Structure 1
Amino acid sequence: MRKIRLLVLTVLLTSILSIGVNAQEGPVETNEFKLGNTIYKAVDSDEDDPLAYLSDSITDSDGYVSISSKTYSTMTCDSLKLVVNIQEKVNGSWKTVKTFEFIKYDTSRISKLETYDDINSGSQYRIKTFHHATVDDINYVDINTSSSITVK
């Protein structure tokens, strides 16, 4: 009787594990969400992804805005590049007032923190970030635009 129970338990566990493995097949899902003024974007995949995780945020600090931008890859890229545009809303349109550009070679991540102090009190600001990756002469790009903030 014990052997039969053990055999049945083994078959059930094997079946459950097989279902879990087979459930991994199918389309790749991208998870994107905003938390406050931070955008998070991640890809759920077993395959290498040069732009697997992206994060961008802008915050109002006393007399300046702080920006944070990150790109993480699941592989070593020939290069990772961030182009961060700080934009101000002027007469109903977004105008780029400052651009930061960063590049790293032979890496799987790039992360930058910067500040911008030429701000106008009461104005709205946001960041538009271009995340670039190059792998084997193939270029990948993803663009994030943050929510706007009103500086004090």
Structure 2
Amino acid sequence: MNKTNENKDLEIDTLGYYLDRALNVMVKQLNKLFVENNIDLQHAQYTILKVLWCGDGISQAQLSKYLGKDPAAISRALNYLESKGYINRRGENAKTNGVYLTEYANSRRTEIEAVADMVTERATTGMTQHQRKMIKELLNKIYTNTK
């Protein structure tokens, strides 16, 4: 690619492009801030913690469903979280493991969520509360329409 094409704005006008671009920049920013704040997590592990803070003890299968991630990816993230002391897995029955937050995870919640909130604040700078609410509603509508 030559210099004149490097800085050219592309006219890609698809919803998927805008969603992907926004997600990627937010994930990169979150991961960077986690490192800067000595939080040993990546976005994928944070999303699992966020779900568990809303409903501790759910199964790996439920996590996979809620997050739209394949079971293998969830398992890898849970292995990491368990090795760092954030979660425990306990057998609920012969087929189901419940995933539970540890005291360590709960003790770090405020710190972790404060960093995530910084990314959201930065991403939504200049938006009104109504616009922030609407974007969540619109993204949820896209999700429910396409799942």
Give TM class, smaller chain.
under 0.3
TM-score between both structures, scaled by the size of structure 2: 0.27
Structure 1 or 2: more helix by fraction: 2
Structure 1 or 2: more strand by fraction: 1
Which of 1 and 2 has greater Rg? 1
